[in-house]
Structure 1
Amino acid sequence: MNRGTKTALSTLTLLALATLTACGGESNSDADSAAGKPETTETAAKQPSPAEHLAKTMVTTSEVNGLNVDEMDEEFLFAKSPNELTTDKPDCVPLGLAMNQLPLGDPRADLTRSVSGHIESERKSGNSYTYITLTSYASGGAESALADVKKAVEKCGGGFTAKSKEAESPYDSVTAEQVTPAGDEALGFRSTLTVRDVQHVVHTEVVRSGDTLAVYFSVDGMAIANARPSDAKLSPTVVKAQNAKLA
């Protein structure tokens, strides 16, 4: 997405604890226990951190039919952290975060990628980008964060304005929409915004799989920059591939 669009928008591996026993005769529990300690310690040391888990879970270019999966360019971020984003209606903060690639709730780790390019069967989506934000939580955190999004969709139908240090993004409306069932629970919503008297539609989907959330967001940045109406659909290929890795 070029600079012109900036002001417009902007879990874990289970440990297998090995119990070593003698191959013959009576087992010596003290010896067995001592022999097992190095193995347990070594296994625990290999447990991935939340950030490492997300890095392994994020889709790659080869998994999305050759679309480009890229790191985010911080220069064009609406805000660099959740603390930098505010809304004129406090209930709508979760929506502002979700639509600006910022983690929801109280995460242990988060990772965002932008996916661009074309798949012939999806060209109706125009030149839209699909953004993926994966977030890992302590037990119960993902459920709580998703619940906050649901409440926000219900309360912010009339729109709201998101603000950061350098940008402002007014959304005219927010409407819940059906999405393909995925993970443990999923929800979707569409938002409209008007830029230079031209209306644009963006789409967001949030999927929870255990203690991990995947937030998908789509926007046609070129259409906004060039004052062309747009309705940026999420790429089904991207969403399906990422949900499969979360399962």
Structure 2
Amino acid sequence: MKRSSGARLCATAALGALSLSLLTACSDEGSKESADPKASSSSSAPASSAPAAKALTTAELEKLLLAQGELKGYKVDSGNDTLPASKKQVKTDKPACDPLAWATAGLAPGDTDANASNTVSEDKSSAATAKPTDIEAAFDVDLTFVGLSSYEGDGAEKAMKAVSDGVTACAGGYGLAADGEKSKVTKVTAEKGATKGDETVAFSEDVDMDGEGTATFHTVVMRKGNTLASFYTVNFAAFSKGGEMGDVPAAVVDAQVAKLK
């Protein structure tokens, strides 16, 4: 199978989550990863109205992101090597699907410039001394892309509706281009996510793995007041094989939402 941008994603993400020795293994064994894994999308919880508030700035959102040491058993990285810098780098062939693609990339799913993101991964620092036979187990690591965005007026509610509407409109899939690499989401499915804050939309996406079957990714978007938090998780071991990525870790969601005002 051709080596895709998924392998590069695995390598750069591993830089912040694993040792340099395991980074080499990621490059060697990640060739079956898809060009741009898209979280499968799905369902939403009932929305509740919240008083309009002034949008937070990007600087304020950065302070609200989970920081290193705030969640036991997890490592926090800036995500500069894994997350796109702007929406211009993430394009779909169906405008209604844009909010889904943005949410999986840690970008604001709605109309705002106030956006901050990072990555949170399981802390498997002991993997640095793992024996060769333990490599696969060491790469059984969940990496979660976390994005925060803030909106004026009812912008947050509109952004949540755009995500929810996108899950329905894009059920049959869509094409995606990110950093010059193209991939195909073949199916989007609404899922039932635990309600946190004021409103929740959860969905899964089946992604074509370069013709070698599909992989299923999960995304959760939550609203607390006029701030949205998005979560998208990749598991390195599952990513290299295709199949189910597993759910977004509840511990990451709970800890991040608890920090929002």
TM-score range, shorter chain: 0.7 to 0.9
Higher relative contact order (CA 8 A, sep 6+): 2
Q: Take 1:164 and 1:130, find their aligned partners in 2: how far apart are those partners?
A: 18
Q: Tell me which structure has the larger Cα radius of gyration.
A: 1
Unaligned runs of 5+ in 1: 15-47
Separation of aligned partners in 2, 1:6 and 1:198: 10
Percent identical: 30
The TM-score, its normalising length taken from structure 2, stands at 0.70
Asked if the contact 2:100/2:109 (under 8 Å) is kept, the reply is no
Contact kept in structure 1, 2:34 and 2:207, CA below 8 Å: no
Matching residue of 2:238? 223
Report the equivalent of 2:216: 201
Structure 1's 90 and 106: CA in aligned 2 closer, same or farther, altered over 3 A? closer
| 2:86 pairs with 1:81 | yes
Match of 1:24 in 2: none
- The residue correspondences of 1:9-88 to structure 2 (distance < 5 A) are 9=37, 50-74=57-81, 76-77=82-83, 79-88=84-93
Matched-pair contact (CA < 8 Å) for 1:186–1:205:
yes
Deviation at 1:213, TM superposition (A): 0.4
Query: For 2:161 and 2:109, how far apart are their aligned partners in 1?
Result: 11
Q: What RMSD over aligned residues (CA atoms) do the two structures have, in Å?
A: 2.7
Paired AA for residue 55 in structure 1: E
Match of 2:194? Answer: 180
Find the aligned partners of 1:144 and 1:191 in 2 and give their Cα distance.
Answer: 22
Distance 1:62 1:144, change over 3 A: same
Counterpart of 2:43 in structure 1 is none
- Specify every segment of 5 or more residues in structure 2 that has no aligned partner in the other structure, as ranges: 1-9, 13-29, 39-52, 125-136
Q: Retained in 2: the 8 A contact 1:185–1:207?
A: yes
| Aligned-partner Cα distance in 2 for 1:100–1:93 | 11
* Paired residues of 2:56 and 2:150 also in contact (CA < 8 A): no
Residue 115 of structure 1: aligned partner: 120
- Secondary structure of 1:60's counterpart equals coil
Kept in 1, the 8 Å contact 2:238–2:245? The answer is no
* Counterpart-to-counterpart distance in 1, 2:154 and 2:56: 18
How many residues of Structure 1 are paired with residues of Structure 2 in the alignment? 205
After TM superposition, the score normalised by the length of structure 1 is: 0.74
1:2–1:222 CA contact under 8 A, matched in 2:
no
Number of the residue aligned with 2:228? 213
User: Could you list the runs of 4 or more consecutive aligned residues of structure 1 that deviate by over 6 angstroms after TM superposition?
Assistant: none
User: d(CA) in 2 for partners of 1:49 and 1:163?
Assistant: 30
Query: 1:43-94, CA deviations, whole angstroms, 9 ceiling, x for partnerless residues?
Result: xxxxx961232122111232211311100134x44x4311232212221111
Q: CA deviation at 1:169?
A: 2.3
